[in-house]
Amino acid sequence: MNEQKIIIQENNELKSYMLFELDNLELFVLEIKGQFYSGRSMATKQGENNFLKIEYQGAIKEYQFLLERENVSLLNAVLLAWTQSSVNFVLHNETSNNFTDDAFVRDWK
């Protein structure tokens, strides 16, 4: 992902989407691998239940992805670039992190 396009590898095939060609772009960040569940749980999240939902040429496509701690700052940088470039997207963030906060980026480095 960058401020102009999204490249997805699915079944050993690369798919590329220019952001301006997408009718809808939603990112569902539901968990980060290694994060603890809320409460007193000692179990950690696997980070596998995140997904990207796009609408391209009338078809809706969803791509599931793994989000590990070491990739959080990269994701945040992309989201900041999208915001600064006025990319139309919706972020559904169910983690305890603020993905567009510069302090958050520093904390994860």
* Residue 45: predicted pLDDT: 54
State the average pLDDT for the chain. 79
Task: Give the pLDDT confidence of 25-60 residue by residue, as tens digits.
Answer: 999 988 776 565 565 666 555 666 889 999 999 999
Instruction: Look at the chain and report how many structural domains it folds into.
Output: 1
Burial tier of 79 (Cβ tally within 10 Å: 0-12, 13-18, 19+)? buried
What CA–CA distance (Å, rounded) separates 41 from 57?
Answer: 43
What CA–CA distance (Å, rounded) separates 1 from 42?
Answer: 33
Range of the structural domain that residue 47 is part of = 5-108
CATH number at residue 35: 2.30.29
* Residue 47: predicted pLDDT: 61
Residue in 14, 30, 93, 95 with CA at minimum distance from that of residue 65 = 30
